[in-house]
Amino acid sequence: MIEFIRILSITIMPGFIIFVLAYGHLKGVNVYETFIEGAKQGLTTVVRVFPYMMAMFVAIGVFRSSGAMDILIRILSPVTSLLGIPAEVLPLALMRPVSGMASTGILGDILKTYGPDSFVGRVASTLMGSTETIFYTLSIYFGAIGIKKIRYTLWASLLTDLAGLFASIIICSIVFGR
Amino acid sequence: MVNVIWLFMILIGFLVALFFGDLEAATQAALDNAKYAVELCIGLLGIYALWLGLMRVAEKSGLVEAISKKMQGIMSFLFPDVPAGHPAMGAMTMNLIANMLGLGNAATPLGIKAMNELQRINKQKDVATHDMCMFLIINTSSVQLIPTTVIALRSAAGSLNPGEIVGTTLITTIISTLVGIIAAKMFRRLY
């Protein structure tokens, strides 16, 4: 199983690239021109993301270097250690359902502070990639069609988020070791 | 909400630094991180451009549509109240596939179209249907196959193997999505 996950990590990207390009070519698409056409959007995407990332980065920089982050982590650590969650990941876990851009900023800060190849860095990366911005998505989708009563949607969504948090810790412990 | 959190972090951060820590260091951290944000975005730019280029090929070659045809069986299990061949089904399938491929920009308009179609077969217009709930629960559980932003951030932070989290992410995503689907099916009985 662990070996399978490792192989998956190595092969999925190149496999996907080969598949998409070969499929495109077989369907008669000029893959090079089309690729360039899509790649042009990369610049506008990054320009759009930049101010949000920078704003969150500055705030986290102040919050962490002042020692406020350590105080927060210490306050929360009895709860997190009871549940087996690395306290350093908690700011990300709390921000993830609220804002995609802000949690991207927090992940960047965690990777910078603890290192991308540390246990905390790997759990944070896995968590970020396997969960979504709940509140934003629900308000956009339900808001667009005027739904007032969303019934059990929020609870079930938060449950998936919690499942993602614990699963990312357990799976990273198994695959990479703590 | 982000507004409050952001303000809180900056104000509390500077206050803590003023009374307990090093105010100069906090100011320096703010400036350093503003600079680091630029480096990070340059790192993101390359990988985003690569990914968006590939995705354009996937869209233009009809790959997205081809996969959506293969998913009809699963879709009718997930959304039993939507009649076969209803436009809602097509829009939902395309939205989920766009999400899997990390095409956030394409996914949102398709998702809203799907919600509009679902609203047409809704009897109480201000109450969500079971199918709407299921659709959004799956959407918020993240079904992305390759987390490109995370890989880019790891690579910018100097990881020796930025892609090593692809496997763990995929397994985690599958678990959380399954939890969401099971929860939605159970709630459906209760409500």
Closest Cβ–Cβ partner in A65, A146, A175 for B125 = A146
* Rounded-to-integer distance, Cα B35 and Cα A64, Å: 16
Q: At a CB cut-off of 8 Å and minimum separation 6, what does B137 contact?
A: A153, A156, A157, A160, B180, B181, B183, B184
Chain B nearest C-alpha distance from A120 (Å): 12
Residue ranges of domains in chain B? 1-61, 62-191
What is the ipTM, given to two decimal places? 0.87
The DSSP secondary-structure symbol of B127 reads B
Burial A133-169 (b: 16+ CB within 10 A, else e): bbbbbbeebbeebebeebbbbbebbebbbebbbbbbb
Among A172, A69, A61, A58, smallest CA distance to A121 is for A172
If you search the block for the tokens 């007032």, which residue do you land on? A148
* Rounded-to-integer distance, Cα B3 and Cα B8, Å: 9
If you search the block for the tokens 């630029």, which residue do you land on? B38
The DSSP-derived string for A61-126 is: HHHHHTTHHHHHHHHHHHHHHHHT--GGGHHHHHHTTT-HHHHHHHHHHHHHHH-TTSHHHHHHHH
Residue in chain B nearest A112 by alpha carbon: B157
Residues 107-126 of B with CB under 8 A from A: 108, 111-112, 115-116, 118-119, 125-126
Identify any residues that bridge with B127 across adjacent strands, giving them in sequence order. A149
Asked whether the predicted pLDDT for residue A120 surpasses 70, the reply is yes
Chain B nearest C-alpha distance from A76 (Å): 16
Q: What is the pLDDT of residues B23-67, one digit of tens each?
A: 999 999 999 999 988 988 888 888 888 888 988 898 899 887 888
Q: Which residues of A touch B13 (CB under 8 A)?
A: 59, 62-66, 68
Residues 64-103 of B with CB under 8 A from A: none
pTM, full prediction: 0.88
pLDDT in tens, chain B (191 residues): 678 889 999 999 999 999 988 899 999 999 999 998 898 888 888 888 888 898 889 889 988 788 878 888 899 999 999 987 788 998 899 899 888 887 776 788 889 999 999 999 999 999 999 999 999 999 999 888 889 889 989 988 999 999 999 999 999 999 999 999 999 999 999 87
